[in-house]
Structure 1
Amino acid sequence: MTTRQAVLTRLIESIVGISRDHPVRVAVDGPDTAGKTTLADELAAALSGIRPAIRVSVDDYIRPAEQRPQSPGVPAAGYFDDNFDLAALIAGYLTPFGPGGDRTYLAADGTTGSAPYDAVLLVDGVFLLQAGLRPYWDIGICLHIGEDEMLRRGLLRDRDRYGGEDATRGVFETQFVPGWRAYQAQHDPAAAATIVIDHDDPSHPAIRPGSASDGNVGRQR
């Protein structure tokens, strides 16, 4: 068993070990390029045959640029209060999948459906462990990578998207990195998380000693 397989196994054990009368709501938080989407997809695959898994990304809830309020002194594209329509995520999934909810969801694209009570909702994205969202999660996973690694991955992943390495570096250095710093300073996601994973080397992730606790998530709505 590889180190990654061991970490995935531990995460699955943590998820299926939770007993609720509603779907278990899991947040996979972390900075840009941390590997949130990949990990959430792996968890969904690993749950196959154990629990029904429903996958959602906060990127499905990005507001059009013209609808984003601008916050003075904080880069808009990396700022957690500006980019996403979190009210729609809450209304569409987190509340109906929570205590007393009817388990009927409304996706960002307008699709509706119903989940069994034993389903697992896996949501990946930046800024998911901010204070206003914490009561909606049953488990919070926070991936940690260094800023140098964040930029290195960004240059590889996004240079075509932004028109070259210089443009990509500018986006990360003026928006994504400062936005994550502001989020950490104001909300301390690692302290709120149930589990923190060092993810600089995705093939050998490491759960931080002592981080697998109740954190500040799970004080339910």
Structure 2
Amino acid sequence: MELVTTPRVRFLRAVADVVLERYGRGRMIVAVTGPAGAEASRFADDLRDVLAERDHTVFRAHLDDFHRSREAQSAFGPDTPERYVRYGFDESALLRSLVEPFRMGGSAAFVTRVLDAARDAWVEPKWITGPEDAILVIDGRFLLRDRLARLWDYRIAIDGEPTDPADVIAYAERDPRTVADLVLDLSDPGHPRAV
């Protein structure tokens, strides 16, 4: 289905062109990150729609759906921004349940969420598969930290200074804008632009 052309959609189509230049056959993962409140999730949703408009099979995932439970986080000490940065997400589950099986392609099944963070409850896994050629668009804070950045084929960072204490810690260690393939200014959401 063709989307209504707006300045935002026109820009997203240009981003999709750049992403698809790297996409041949097989599986590709695009990561979208930014500080808290940066609209990374909305941008990732819109990018998914533009990629799907071109008849690509596209899946969506959110890093927030790979939180550790509150109980599991408490094993790492008191609830602090530093603990959240270091141990808030279950990166092992992200790799085991989503990234690695998605990369395998074919009939390998993967899940796009393991925990409902708002309810602090595990979700019944919905194992899905897709064709050999597919794109996964994932969004979330800290996706471009050193140990995760290598997992993504294309990295997009939303510009913005960190104000949340957890973001301040994470950005001090590695500012995602320095390792992203594309940095975006979304201060005017209807007219995004590359920085």
| Amino acid paired to 2:11 | V
Partners of 2:82 and 2:169 in 1: CA distance: 12
Say yes or no: does 1:64 pair with 2:69: yes
Percent of aligned pairs sharing the same letter: 29
Residue in structure 2 matched with residue 50 of structure 1 by the alignment = 55
Residue in structure 2 matched with residue 189 of structure 1 by the alignment = 176
Contact 2:27/2:105 (<8 A) preserved:
no
Contact 2:185/2:194 (<8 A) preserved:
yes
The alignment's TM-score, normalised by the length of structure 2, stands at 0.81
Residue in structure 2 matched with residue 135 of structure 1 by the alignment = 150
Provide the secondary structure at the position in 2 that maps to 1:197.
strand
Residue in structure 1 matched with residue 27 of structure 2 by the alignment = 23
Provide the secondary structure at the position in 2 that maps to 1:111.
coil
Query: May I ask how many residue pairs the two structures share in their alignment?
Result: 178
What is the correspondence of 1:69-88 to structure 2 with a 5 Å cutoff?
Answer: 69-70=75-76, 75-76=81-82, 79-88=84-93
- CA offsets per residue over residues 170-206 of structure 1, 9 Å max, x none? xxxxxx7121111111122111111110122212222
Partners of 2:49 and 2:105 in 1: CA distance: 25
Q: 1:192 to 1:34 in 2, by over 3 A?
A: same
Partners of 1:85 and 1:187 in 2: CA distance: 19
Provide the secondary structure at the position in 1 that maps to 2:156.
strand
Q: 1:72 to 1:66 in 2, by over 3 A?
A: closer
When the two chains are superposed, the root-mean-square deviation of aligned CA atoms in Å is 2.3
Provide the secondary structure at the position in 1 that maps to 2:128.
strand
Partners of 1:51 and 1:112 in 2: CA distance: 20
Contact 1:70/1:76 (<8 A) preserved:
no
Say yes or no: does 1:106 pair with 2:121: no
Provide the secondary structure at the position in 1 that maps to 2:86.
coil
Residue in structure 2 matched with residue 217 of structure 1 by the alignment = none
Question: Which ranges in structure 1 are unaligned for 5 or more consecutive residues?
Answer: 148-175, 209-221
Partners of 1:117 and 1:189 in 2: CA distance: 30
Question: Which ranges in structure 2 are unaligned for 5 or more consecutive residues?
Answer: 115-122
Contact 2:105/2:132 (<8 A) preserved:
no
